[in-house]
Structure 1
Amino acid sequence: MRQIILASASPRRQELLKQLIGDNFRVYSSSYMESTYPGLLPEELVLRHSTGKARDVAKHFNSGLVISADTSVLFNGELMGKPKSSEEAEKMLKLLSGQRFLVITGLTVLDLDSGTEINELESTTVWMDEISNEQISAYVRTGEPLDKAGAFAVQGKGAAFVKRIEGDFFNVVGLPLFRLGKILQKAGVSIFEGNLP
């Protein structure tokens, strides 16, 4: 199997990639600094960030495939990243309570051997249940929302608030596996090779 590098320190993304291709990858955290780019649409911004992460990590390798992703919640035309405090997490959850919103991910796969760069966008619709202020406060006290885009983890206790999802569930966790699997197969990676007993 070709060398695969995940440009992310996220334990969730590492677990998802392992689910797809086994242990046949290495992790190299990006030092790319995310900035706001006035004039860019939210979808363009997550793609800009995923591309920036991949290119930053690619500088440290001569061959292989670099995978990166940038995930945010899109609500009322505004992006919600990770909350910087418990107060901000509560504010985000109050906004999302009882609402429908999108989770969007910019996904980049950079092939260092061919010079090919693939940038794709995945979008998943999420319906959030009505959440009481007491539930929000209790959830934030668990600490789970503090490093999650939109301040909730669908793969954790936050699942109790998610009524419905339309689209790729794994995209909401942080790595759209269906789309990534298709890209990897086009790049000549057998996603089943690393999962054989």
Structure 2
Amino acid sequence: MSNTAGRDPGATKSFWHRYSAALIGAGGAVLAAVVALVGVYFPRSNDGETKVDAPRVYRHGDLRLRAGTGYDLDSLATDWEPTNGGWSGQDVAYATKGVHDWVAGRNARSGKSGDSVAALDLKTPRTFDSCVKADFGAEEAAPRDEKINPKWAFCVLTSEGRYALLEIVSAREGVLNTQVTVWHEK
């Protein structure tokens, strides 16, 4: 017969046995906090690449691109300061000739080097990150052998170093209705 009468049955348990649940819970909370902080400071996309944090939106709105007219995407004017009949020095323009449409960047007619417009393919997300990673490999961007249509989007690098996204909303002969997002420069 043991002499345990009147004693607390938990008194013989070790420190680990008494506090293991609390220690495991506290350790789990610390681990969750570390994982959350790593996710905030080093965000990852679904493909494992590090994401680019988007700056604040500088301007967002509708822009009706008319053929042969250039527009200043850095402008805060309600009409985006168009220049009719030419677009040298403007951030973006739309042109059409027969069955071929294209969006031109600011250097297309200025004689300056540097490419400032990129067409996004149909599967590319319409985001700041996509514009930063876009291939600005031409002075003009256009779909191949087809008219520009609402499936298309273009990234533009503005004269003041901002990224802009032009999403085609509707298209008819000589006019592209777009939604434009311009982000503050980094």
TM-score (norm 1): 0.21
Larger relative contact order (Cα-Cα within 8 Å, sequence gap ≥ 6): 1
Name which one, 1 or 2, has greater alpha-carbon Rg. 2
